[in-house]
Amino acid sequence: QKEVEQNSGPLSVPEGAIASLNCTYSDRGSQSFFWYRQYSGKSPELIMFIYSNGDKEDGRFTAQLNKASQYVSLLIRDSQPSDSATYLCALLRGSSNTGKLIFGQGTTLQVKP
Amino acid sequence: DGGITQSPKYLFRKEGQNVTLSCEQNLNHDAMYWYRQDPGQGLRLIYYSQIVNDFQKGDIAEGYSVSREKKESFPLTVTSAQKNPTAFYLCASTTTRTGIDQPQHFGDGTRLSIL
């Protein structure tokens, strides 16, 4: 079983809709989770990070974490064509002082005008 | 501006050749990381360093080497032992001093291909 699993997609949504991206993980002890957006040919850029169970909102983005069920999701409201990219879920194995990020394979999102 | 600078943007390696990828940061970050990304795949950790003069192997260190002589710099050498070096190489850094887990931020990457 992979440590971090994402559906590779593509996930296709119409402009203005809510895009829901999901990620499951196997290590129940994982504490810190990150969502990165990666445009084709570019490096990943941080979208959100979440450490506590529940929801965390930042503009059109909401990260949701459920440690009991071992999943983390990213919701994008009012999706725009510019949101079309690959979204990478990552968790920190260990702590910032000693640990390392483990990435899923990414989900490709296509927002159709 | 503060950031992470990777160079070169594109690099070509001949058979049997070692090549070195540069990564410099002026963010005063303690920790630096090297990842490899293959097409359609997530990132895999090659090496990382939490402090100067110390580094650890990641999940795919074979065929690679690093050094951390200065806080700002973490160069990666792709040796001739790495038989499949074609990939997108990403350098990242983060601070470790805040007491809570901080996200890593990435440079623009280096694309390495075999000639």
B61/A contact by beta carbon, under 8 A: no
| pLDDT tens per residue, range A47-104 | 999 999 999 999 999 999 999 999 999 999 999 999 999 999 999 887 656 678 899 9
- Percentage above 70 pLDDT, chain B: 95
| pLDDT tens per residue, range B38-54 | 987 889 999 999 999 99
Token digits for B66?
Answer: 């690093």
**Nearest one of A2, A31, A6, A39 to A20, comparing CA atoms:** A6
For CA atoms A86, B43, A88, B32, the dihedral sign is negative
B5/A contact by beta carbon, under 8 A: no
Q: What is the pLDDT of residue B48?
A: 94
Q: What is the pLDDT of residue A35?
A: 97
Q: Would you call B96 and A44 a contact, using CB atoms and an 8 Å cutoff?
A: no
Q: Would you call A43 and B95 a contact, using CB atoms and an 8 Å cutoff?
A: no
Could you identify the residue written with the tokens 């203005």? A16
Distance from CA of B83 to the nearest CA of A (A): 23
- Residues of chain B contacting A95 with CB distance shorter than 8 Å: 101
How many C-beta atoms surround the C-beta of residue B63 within 10 A? 15
Beta strands in A1-113 (DSSP E): 4-5, 11-14, 19-25, 33-38, 45-50, 54-58, 61-66, 71-76, 85-93, 100-103, 107-112
